[in-house]
Amino acid sequence: MKLESHAPTGDIEKRWDQHRFDMKLVNPANKRKFNVIVVGTGLAGASAAATLAELGYNVKAYCYQDSPRRAHSIAAQGGINAAKNYQNDGDSVYRLFYDTVKGGDFRSRESNVYRLAQVSVNIIDQAVAQGVPFAREYGGLLDNRSFGGAQVSRTFYARGQTGQQLLLGAYSALSKMIATGSVKMYSRHEMLDVIVEDNRARGIVVRNLDNGKIEAHTADAVCLCTGGYGNVFYLSTNAKGCNVTAGWRAHKKGALFANPCFTQIHPTCIPPSGDYQSKLTLMSESLRNDGRVWVPKDPANAEKKPSSIPESERDYYLERIYPSFGNLVPRDIASRAAKKMCDEGKGVGPYVGDQRRGVYLDFADAIKRDGEARIMEKYGNLFEMYERITGDDPRETPMRIYPATHYTMGGVWVDYNLQSTIEGLFVLGEANFSDHGANRLGASALMQGLADGYFVIPYTMGNYLARAGNNDKKEDSTVAKSTVKDVESRVQSLIDKGAKGTHTPDHYHRRLGHIMYDKCGMSRNEAGLKEGLEEVRSLREEFDANVKVLGSGAELNTMLEKAGRVSDFLELAELMHVDALDRDESCGAHFREEHVREDGEAKRDDEDYAYVAAWEHTGVGKAPKLHKEELDFEYVKLTQRSYK
């Protein structure tokens, strides 16, 4: 299999414009002849479904939630980046492009990143037109601020709930098209397989989560907008239901899975509080604009009230190590630094396992400088949320934060047109292997989801449909029936084995999370990865033999849903270890302890590893096949990152 990115050449500023011009168009009168399936209704899914329907295509949209309104994009709180240069502080499309490539530690396609930066300005206009209530300054103009990994103010926000507000904008556009009949919405439906014939996506197989009915839905093209796979770690900032099934099923049908080991750790989460916690609470990274991060210099002071620890005994370690960026270093750097402090015994808060997992985020200086009213105007809802969860008022007691699994830069490999290695199967947003590279700057996830849905897929989808024509396969075709039968067999097998099982899916998911955190987490090494790989394989075998699934498939069965998702996570976890072992370097969120610079930062190997690792599925338990997409850098000089 030869990888072809279809990334355009020429002047980078003109590539997307020229590429759009070179694409084939679909006559407006002919668009109504085409049917498109969109799986997932977060930012990428809702924006794609709404936009494609507005263009005239017939769209069927699917989500496992009870309403598309409940899609998980709402968890993103901090903001969305755009190169508007409102504050005349030196921002530009090119600088956003450069910052994103650098933030991703030079493991991304230049063409994709520049396009992302280029359309970012349109996203803000689109959202404002939809009524998204971005924060505004006293003059009525949009307000923005800086975020980790940048020294300019390009992050637009909505009172700490930017993801929710942007989702409401996309959801309103989707709802309008549902009302017109252009979008047919299937909530409480989970995709369990993709229908493929002659390497062309013909549709999907879904399970009605309320009654268990399994059925095929066909279309001329399929868009997967199903988010990331951070819940492979069990404890993450993702909603409990977030899973990898759609992308993984596509992978097992021939779509390559790229860079699976690139998993981002978010530095400003509320620390875990016990062994049976199921989700970690994400606090907006925007807090780092004003809060100062510190730990006691002396581990013996960890149990003292922070107010009783004098300035001379505090280590503002991010400001000390990175004087230029300070608390605004990128997420991977801030997260590793926090872990290092805790590993050295300087962590604060209660013990979780064998160490205190927390550092202070202190707003005392900000309140003294700007006044409590101004700080509450910016972060009041976040302060309130933190107080409700922990019982501490951040105005009086510093927040305790700790890194947690958040975003995944790996995912289904796609070309410049967002098409996977299966023709007609497009993958948008976090579900694809990401424009960001080995790490993601804060406030860029919403940017990619909306860019893909609003401003990329309408063009690339039209180009595909104009060339491919209509799908002649219907729901009762041989390939559709065969795929339904495969899904029914897989579901029934889980039920049959599960009737004799001894442990719940959550039991195995929790154990998998421990393996992933310890062996394939914020830092990895060869010995640990090899151990983790064997442990995952052993756990998968145990799961297959002993997982407990009560009830039947012909009804609402949340245990069955979880079992299917955990099964996919176990297979994915194996690939993540293989990928992390193969990439014998440190870059971004992939930190191999064997490859560290003298100053403690990640040491890349550009000569041997400046490529996208795209893996081909060869069978469960069999070694996957590696395909490399070499990365060329014409505009950004490959240098070791420095945020000091």
Residue count of the chain: 644
* CA distances in angstroms from 547 to 110, 346, 483, 500, 537, listed in the order given: 45, 40, 24, 8, 15
**Interstrand relation of 58-62 and 80-81 (parallel, antiparallel or unpaired):** unpaired
Measured in whole angstroms, the distance separating CA 200 from the mean position of its chain's CA atoms is: 26
Catalytic residue, from 95, 154, 202, 331: name it. 331
What is residue 498's three-state secondary structure?
A: helix
Residue 219: HSE in the Cβ half-sphere, 13 Å Cα cutoff: 27
- CA torsion through residues 325, 328, 331, 334, sign: positive
331 noted as active-site residue: yes
Measured in whole angstroms, the distance separating CA 292 from the mean position of its chain's CA atoms is: 26
What is residue 24's three-state secondary structure?
A: coil
What is residue 346's three-state secondary structure?
A: coil
Asked if 277 and 234 touch (Cβ cutoff 8 Å), the reply is no
| Residue partners of 495: CB distance under 8 A and separation at least 6 | 549, 551, 552, 553, 560
E strand map for 200-308: 200-208, 214-218, 221-224, 257-258, 263-269, 292-296
Asked if 135 and 142 touch (Cβ cutoff 8 Å), the reply is yes
How large is the greatest C-alpha to C-alpha distance in the chain, in angstroms? 74
- CA torsion through residues 103, 104, 109, 115, sign: negative
Phi, psi (degrees; rounded to nearest 5) at 447: -60, -45
Neighbours of 2 (CB within 10 A): 5
DSSP symbols for 382-407: HHHHHHHHHS--TTTS-EEEEEEEEE
Measured in whole angstroms, the distance separating CA 361 from the mean position of its chain's CA atoms is: 25
* CA distances in angstroms from 414 to 17, 298, 307, 570, 624, listed in the order given: 20, 49, 51, 23, 18
What is residue 222's three-state secondary structure?
A: strand
Helix axis angle for 505-519 and 558-582, nearest 10°, is: 20
What is residue 378's three-state secondary structure?
A: helix
Closest CA to 298 of 345, 331, 355: 345
Asked if 204 and 193 touch (Cβ cutoff 8 Å), the reply is yes
Dist. CA 221–CA 218, nearest whole Å: 8
Dist. CA 422–CA 186, nearest whole Å: 24
DSSP type of residue 13: G
Instruction: Read off the tokens for 388.
Output: 């409700």
What is residue 30's three-state secondary structure?
A: helix
Asked if 569 and 231 touch (Cβ cutoff 8 Å), the reply is yes
What residues act catalytically? 331
